Structure 1
Amino acid sequence: MNKIFFILFLLFYLNNVQSQDILKTFQISSNNKASSILYDKTGSSLDSLTAYLLAEDIKKITGSHPKVITEKKDAKGDLIIIGNISSPVISEFIDLSKIPEKFKSQKESYLYKIIKNPSSNGKKTFIIAGTDPRGTAFGIFELSKNLGVSPWYWWADVPVEKKKEITIDVPDFYSEEPAVEYRGIFLNDEDWGLQPWAAKTFEPETGDIGPKTYAKIFELLLRLKANTIWPAMHPSTKAFFYYPGNAEMAEKYHIVVGSSHAEPMLRNNVDEWNKDSLGSFNYISNKENVNNYWEERVKETSNLDALYTVGMRGIHDSGMEGVESTEEAAEVLSNVIKNQRNLLKKYHQEYITEIPQAFTVYKEVLELYDSGMELPEDITIIWTDDNYGYIRRLSNAAERQRSGGGGVYYHASYWGRPHDYLWLSSTHPGLIREEMMKAFHTKSKKIWILNVGDIKPAEYNIQLFMDMAYNTSDFEDPSYVTEHMQDFYTSIFGKSSGKEIADLKLKYFNLAYERKPEFMGWSQTEPTTKINTTAYTPFSWGDEVNTRMDEYSKLAEKAQSIGSTIDSNLKDAYFELVEYPVKGAAFMNKKFLYRDLAIKYSGQNRLNSKKFSQFSSNSYDSIVALTEKYNTKILNGKWNGIIDMMPRRLPVYKNPEIDLNKNYNTPLASIAVENQKDGGIEIPSFYKNDTISHFFDIYLRSEKEANWSIKKPEWIETNKTAGTLVPSQASERIDIKVNWKKWNNAGNPEDSSIDLNLNNQKLSLTLKVVSYDLKPSEKNIFIEKNNVVSIYAENFTTKHDSEIFRWKKISGLGYSNSLMQAFPFVGEPIDTMQLACQAPYLEYEIHTENAVNSAKLVLNALPTHPLTNNHSVRIGIQWNDNPIQIIDFKTYGRSEEWKQNVLRNLARKELTVNVKKGKQTLKIYMIDQGVALDFIYLKTKSLSLPYSLLPETKL
């Protein structure tokens, strides 16, 4: 009896499981027929719009266009139903009481559910239901993305893989609420890309960025699960509300309309404030006109889903007019906000605390806010970065309790001092993650806005920012950025190429982190200065100039190589997302680095300096050709005007003039030895078992020939031992390294030389080998090499954390590609009087060759700003047993120190220390949370450090 019962139970169980599995699958399209799409005609207009977009997406994949209906009776076969979870169309299939209460209370969330259609014989229904219209849209576009329609199908021309049928496997799914409530972009500095492209190519009927362009932008935002726009506002563009269709399009797509930090109450002051008819934009002398100006817009937008910027600045993103002191400005600003809120109360039915309002503390407004001005707590404080990716400050403990919360306005593109970066998008993804996660953990998660410039070519960074704003949990681990990048490129270019492309783009970001392409002229703007030679040297530290050019050459060659294997239908997307930015950055670097070689070699009367001058000009020509291809050759000119290779016509973008020393006279030939000044001929020292090599150059100074040969011990290896210089090959680099096995067999000599015969001129280049008497098994022991110790912060000898605070490794960022950061981002700074007994510290063991009374300890960190107004950017330094010294990386305003920090993505401080021969101990104590250490140098001799990063000098 028990056996029979068990068999019956088993059969019932297996049948039930099979039935459940069947319900997990749904066939969207098969045999040239697609499931109908039903939406609630009484629901949101966004339901209708996204229903038709989903149908278009399915057609892109299969060629079959699903029927879009509003009546269930019109359905034949399987059915996709979309709508709000509480709509009649959805409630007919789902019992609202069985949906989790937590989910029902979430904003912008969606569910997936496959059920049998009770009114249709064995047919199924796939339900996409949102807690609000945007939630439904996000569910629809997430489905499209998973089916193979990229959010960038239009904006980056990502093709859709064709399939004969679509069957999905979807168990019941409830999405989480977005991590950040308002997530969007600011279209800015559009004068050289988005506006001329829209006006002349995409929307000539408007002659501007109008509703047709905004429709494409809003669709992209929804596909990225974003919801907010700060519209374009430069003088080249008419105000958003000038064209009625713009606001209508925002309503249609359910996009929240806000405005930038300089545009209160949805007003575009640059375009809309008429000084001739309205007077000065001055709240002290012209209050009535200013208030009327704002009231007109508040009344007009009373039914618009809007995010109101409160406060006041000048017309052209400048300081407030008519005030003479910080105190007066703060008082006026407090009154401005009171009056603005009265206008909102007058025209909105919601309580004032329910109307989204933002106060952006940009530039001088931060000083006004910190001076004690009154700000209602339901207004969201939007913190800003310094325009270069480093957030100026975040919410302190008290500000985290404000009901309005905090937000961040962040730049991925910028016009201004010390230099613009409007051409390519190269802000490091690891930096975006580090700063925005810091914001999230300090409760600045109400509003995140990214300044994207012209959208293109910032596609990946926009994707990263929006994915992080939607779901920050994935990004808790810094290494996830690499995974995210791989997922992004793999989703577009497939597994065979995706990882390779991601690795390529990561290298692109790493090189640009050291110096953005736009900054390679070593010039500045506001005021604009002439270009200069770079800080990279071809004479020392392994030849920084040629090393960087080699890295970019390999990058460009790799981009070309991958591009040649990409399927033809992917080539346009590849050019836009990968090839143009990678090659553009490579050519810009070569333009200036070849110029460096021309000028710096000319100073030595090298004959080949003229050749490098031409190479520099050729690199400029390559940028011109590359940009012409983007604008006119791909997709029959779809993007004509979207890329300008010289925005604002700054000197850095031009074909550089190069003045050369024309005195190519005797002697016929000469040499230059690495790290030597004034014709020194001592090869840098080698250190036992080190694999590093050194070099010297032999070069012509006149249009003749020169023979050369070298003699050396067998244990010294060179790439060549003899040759002839001719005008067409006017220089030769001799690389030198030690064969350590042969060195041992030779009796471990400490001194030797290389004898050079150069056109019967005999020279002797001295060479030294140094051995440290240390145990090779010891871990992370650092030694002095050629008067420098180089340490990457992650490679501490020991680490000591406390119960609350700790040093945490942040991978994938910094010159060393790994930082040590003071965590967590809560709590007050550690008392500087209690460091030795309370503060976590990193300890490093160093061994030096000689005793030096005034060596320089050089500490390098991420150029972050204080976490809150209660913090600074301090660490404590203890050298050996000496007292702890406090150093602070904090910068002030737009000081020259800050300018250099952001141009090179590095903050640097020096301390003088006394060095004894042998073992030294360095301890670095935590004081302020958020400090991120990158690398450390110790100089035992006065010398110029390289611009790029030195290898570690480990044992």
Structure 2
Amino acid sequence: MKINNLTTVRSIFRFLVLMGLMLQMNPLVMAATTDVPVYVDFAEQPGYLPLVEGANTIPIVQGENEAEAVVWAIDQLRQDFEKVTGVKSTAAHNEVPKGSKTLLLIGTLGQNPLIDQLVKQKKIDVSAIHGQWEASLTQTIDNPLPGIEKALLIVGSDRRGTIYGIYELSKQMGVSPWYWWADVPIEQHSAVYARSIRAISRPKVKYRGIFLNDEAPALSGWAKEKFGGFNHEFYKHVFELILRLKGNYLWPAMWGSAFYDDDPENAIWADRMGVVMGTSHHEPLTRAHDEWRRYGEGPWDYQKNEENLRNFWRDGIRRMGARESLVTIGMRGDGDEPMSEENNIQLLERIVNDQRKIIGKETGKAAKETPQLWALYKEVQDYYDRGMRVPDDVTLLLCDDNWGNIRKLPDLTAKKRSGGYGIYYHFDYVGGPRNSKWINVSQVQRVWEQMNLAYQYGVDQIWIVNVGDLKPMEYPISFFLDMAWNPDQFKASNLLQHTEAWCAQQFGEQYAKESARLINTYTKYNHRVTPELLDENTYSLQHYGEFEQVVMDYRNLLIDAMRLYYILPQQYRDAFDELVLFPINACSNLYEMYYAVAKNKYFASKNDEQANYWADKVKACFERDSILTVHYNKDIANGKWSHMMDQVRIGYKIWQEPRKSTMPHVSYLPTMKPMPKIFMEVKGYVSMEAENYDVSSGGGGVSWTVIPDLGKTLSGVTTSPVTKAPDEQVYLEYKVDVRTTGEAKLVVLTSPTLNFNENKGLRYAVSIDGGAEQEVNINGHYRGELGEWQAKRIIETATTHLIEKPGLHTLRIRPLDPGIVFQKILLDMGGLKPSYLGPPQSEYKRSD
């Protein structure tokens, strides 16, 4: 194509530049969350539709008969406009506000007369969403109605289709779904614009949800303090999060709790906001496990107590009414335990048949018209494998092994089921070999690999994941629900891009890549072994320094996380602490503690007093764990998340948690008389820190003082008082074990003290094995010139000695003047390389 028009060329160039900026700002539009491309901008361009401009906002027009859930979401959108711009949009019903030239038209097909009018007039094509499950159309349109120049339409095939379109706009304006649950700040803008767009969005998996499980003491303690318990004020935040993440399904908290019974408003608000309710795999016909404890009569045994159980379940379906629910059927033992051996397949099939009769009778319609699931959890899968079957309309909920590994998938050659298949997955688990419930240990790479496997085998009816207390699992929850919306958008090569896009949403583009690397790396480390399973025996001290390496891995990651924390703008730090820094900090400390336990045991077994040092380290790390917990609970977001980090992770002896953390056992050895330190020759030299002498001798009122951290390496050693000259009784001795004989150079590194004593200089004498002393003046040559040698921050002097035989030798250094500070002593047998620091200290062994 030949282009001659310069204006056209410039227009194309501007377009390409704009597209480049769009891609920079949104590195993974498709793989980040949805199938809706970016259409929100904060800078005006020709053809853009202003949504907010200065004090003016686009009016929102909704249908008068719109579902309550859509009305709720529209009100949230109006608040989101205010969060972003400081200006709250106006709302109208069924009519165009007078004088308006633009509109934001929102509604569900059949519920907004203006939208239905546009469909009838064929001004918009809704064929792609009509009759579809949770589908939405987002489109800008010119001259849709008399007097209206331009409008943005958000049209849903049903109430959640509309809701997802609304929350997609909120997200693109910069309101993270985690704005409340993770304190993600909302960037302010003076204007918001919509680009021209037409996008169809619909989910690939029908029911997509989370299960709040194992919620004591963390989630339950927090909810009780902040809301008075698991009531509708608590659940409204959960429902909103699920919908903003484009989920639709919830199994509520159940250990000691009962969603329908604790607060009757809970179920009303679930329906009011548009969330499908269910109950966990072992809670049939909407009845919570704890309700049987409260109201049940007789044993939880269908053979012995059939009538009472049927009445119990019947009340659950009556209470459910017409509200949108996914009903669990089947039966396990009381408290999520296996049923007794005498309960056979025929009995379970009869139970399911009786439950479906209850469903049909109480709903007044065929049982198959009420969505149901049967969870093949643990031993229930064995019943299925031995031939137990349920009606074809029931969804078979397949399960993982509680650790993220899917146990069973459909036979690709089998006849299709009308109820299809689902997956119950775990990010959190209570059970053997030990609980996994404190912190995020889920690698999204593994989640993708397993859930992609499930999807490719036709599992697309239900995806539900156990998230425990919810709060520590923010990123994997987002990933799981994003993948459930459209599994096809993910592949092995773009998983990190999703993490980066998610981090950009929480912390901004500038910090996204490094934040994503930190999350990606810490979950990889946690996937090696869960914190509850970690102990002093997990890694080897002896095998290639394995334990030290994993400790260093986490320590280095923590350094990087702390660096980024202090670079981040202040408003992002709470969110970053919750989502990135705290998990790394707390887990790094845990690794440090168990490494110290291993070192303590090792040195105690050798009867080495170094065991005491490592015992003190264990205590310090154990205390730090408590301090970090208090920080999360009380400091982050001004105490908003009190109790949320109360899960115990230290002190496990069996699968279940102890009631409180207990410090690992350590051994202290009695302090003994110091044994000689003998430094070994390594690679042709011996290197010793001055403070690691074997003998320090004082006399005449002069003693030795160690100055910690002085100098280039460990410390400095000098005589005291500094006004008194040492006599012959003042010296330091070092034991060295050498294998090389011949001429050796003894190098002494001292601090760069000047010759303050009228230029006489500071002197010391050295000898080996009691032989003749050699006297050295370290700075007698100095006459006040400002040369380069002072910048080295060290004075290096040397003497030459003859080592006639291998073995043990004694080096003596005797100061002749006060004020000299020794830092390091090196015996060079021909292997020493020049360095202002000197080589690392040689290994030393205790004398037997």
TM-score normalised by length of structure 1: 0.66
- Give the whole-Å Cα distance in 2 for the aligned partners of 1:115 and 1:95: 15
1:124 equivalenced with 2:139 (yes/no) = no
> What does 1:434-513 correspond to in 2, within 5 Å?
434-475=449-490, 477-513=491-527
The one of 511, 534, 538 aligned to 1:535 = 538
| C-alpha RMSD of the superposition | 3.5
1:373 equivalenced with 2:388 (yes/no) = yes
Shift of 1:274: 4.2
> What does 1:554-953 correspond to in 2, within 5 Å?
554-646=556-648, 650=658, 653-662=661-670, 668-669=676-677, 707-708=735-736
Matched-pair contact (CA < 8 Å) for 1:256–1:305:
yes
AA paired with 1:571? R
Q: Secondary structure at the match of 1:590?
A: helix
What does residue 211 of structure 2 align with?
186
Q: Secondary structure at the match of 1:466?
A: helix
Q: Give the total of aligned pairs.
A: 671
- Give the whole-Å Cα distance in 1 for the aligned partners of 2:693 and 2:477: 51
AA paired with 2:494? Y
Q: Secondary structure at the match of 2:472?
A: coil
What does residue 264 of structure 2 align with?
244
Shift of 1:208: 1.0
Gapped regions of structure 2 (runs ≥ 5): 16-38, 650-655, 684-688, 697-732, 751-804, 812-848
Cα distance change of structure 1 residues 554 and 303 upon mapping to structure 2, 3 Å threshold? same
What does residue 532 of structure 2 align with?
518
Matched-pair contact (CA < 8 Å) for 1:29–1:165:
yes
1:893-923 CA distances to partner (integer Å, 9 max, x unpaired)?
xxxxxxxxxxxxxxxxxxxxxxxxxxxxxxx
Shift of 1:606: 3.6
Shift of 1:168: 1.8
The one of 150, 153, 164 aligned to 2:176 = 150
The one of 417, 436, 439 aligned to 1:424 = 439
The one of 225, 242, 251 aligned to 1:230 = 251
- Give the whole-Å Cα distance in 2 for the aligned partners of 1:443 and 1:758: 75
Gapped regions of structure 1 (runs ≥ 5): 1-6, 522-532, 674-680, 683-696, 714-719, 725-754, 762-955
**Comparing both chains, which one has the higher relative contact order based on Cα–Cα distances under 8 Å and sequence gaps of 6 or more?**
2
- Give the whole-Å Cα distance in 1 for the aligned partners of 2:679 and 2:407: 49
- Give the whole-Å Cα distance in 1 for the aligned partners of 2:409 and 2:625: 40
AA paired with 2:266? N
What does residue 45 of structure 1 align with?
68
1:628-681 CA distances to partner (integer Å, 9 max, x unpaired)?
1221122222111222142675389432231245486786357999xxxxxxx9
The one of 136, 140, 156 aligned to 1:114 = 140
Shift of 1:563: 0.5
What does residue 117 of structure 2 align with?
92
Shift of 1:75: 5.3
Q: Secondary structure at the match of 1:166?
A: strand
AA paired with 1:179? K
1:291-324 CA distances to partner (integer Å, 9 max, x unpaired)?
111111112213010001010012211122xx54
Q: Secondary structure at the match of 2:334?
A: coil
What does residue 62 of structure 1 align with?
85
Q: Secondary structure at the match of 1:333?
A: helix
Matched-pair contact (CA < 8 Å) for 1:83–1:89:
no
- Give the whole-Å Cα distance in 1 for the aligned partners of 2:807 and 2:273: 77
- Give the whole-Å Cα distance in 2 for the aligned partners of 1:507 and 1:486: 13
Q: Secondary structure at the match of 1:481?
A: helix
- Give the whole-Å Cα distance in 1 for the aligned partners of 2:140 and 2:808: 83
- Give the whole-Å Cα distance in 2 for the aligned partners of 1:151 and 1:270: 31
TM-score normalised by length of structure 2: 0.74
What does residue 295 of structure 1 align with?
314
- Give the whole-Å Cα distance in 2 for the aligned partners of 1:265 and 1:215: 23
Matched-pair contact (CA < 8 Å) for 2:426–2:465:
yes
- Give the whole-Å Cα distance in 1 for the aligned partners of 2:693 and 2:433: 39
1:221 equivalenced with 2:256 (yes/no) = no
- Give the whole-Å Cα distance in 2 for the aligned partners of 1:339 and 1:756: 91
Matched-pair contact (CA < 8 Å) for 1:591–1:616:
yes
Cα distance change of structure 1 residues 570 and 313 upon mapping to structure 2, 3 Å threshold? same
Q: Secondary structure at the match of 1:93?
A: helix
- Give the whole-Å Cα distance in 2 for the aligned partners of 1:672 and 1:146: 65
- Give the whole-Å Cα distance in 2 for the aligned partners of 1:141 and 1:283: 45
- Give the whole-Å Cα distance in 1 for the aligned partners of 2:309 and 2:369: 25
Cα distance change of structure 1 residues 396 and 617 upon mapping to structure 2, 3 Å threshold? same
The one of 104, 107, 118 aligned to 1:80 = 104
Cα distance change of structure 1 residues 105 and 211 upon mapping to structure 2, 3 Å threshold? same
AA paired with 1:233? M
- Give the whole-Å Cα distance in 2 for the aligned partners of 1:471 and 1:423: 29
What does residue 336 of structure 1 align with?
351
What does residue 101 of structure 1 align with?
127
Cα distance change of structure 1 residues 167 and 600 upon mapping to structure 2, 3 Å threshold? same
- Give the whole-Å Cα distance in 2 for the aligned partners of 1:756 and 1:247: 85
Matched-pair contact (CA < 8 Å) for 1:645–1:653:
no
1:866-902 CA distances to partner (integer Å, 9 max, x unpaired)?
xxxxxxxxxxxxxxxxxxxxxxxxxxxxxxxxxxxxx
AA paired with 1:657? H
Cα distance change of structure 1 residues 239 and 114 upon mapping to structure 2, 3 Å threshold? closer
- Give the whole-Å Cα distance in 1 for the aligned partners of 2:126 and 2:61: 24
Rg larger for: 2
AA paired with 1:539? Q
**Overall identity of the aligned pairs, in %:** 29
1:220-261 CA distances to partner (integer Å, 9 max, x unpaired)?
0000000000011002x2443331100001111111111101
What does residue 818 of structure 1 align with?
none
Q: Secondary structure at the match of 1:53?
A: helix
- Give the whole-Å Cα distance in 1 for the aligned partners of 2:274 and 2:347: 35
1:666-710 CA distances to partner (integer Å, 9 max, x unpaired)?
86357999xxxxxxx99xxxxxxxxxxxxxx9x999999854476
What does residue 388 of structure 1 align with?
403
> What does 1:332-371 correspond to in 2, within 5 Å?
332-371=347-386
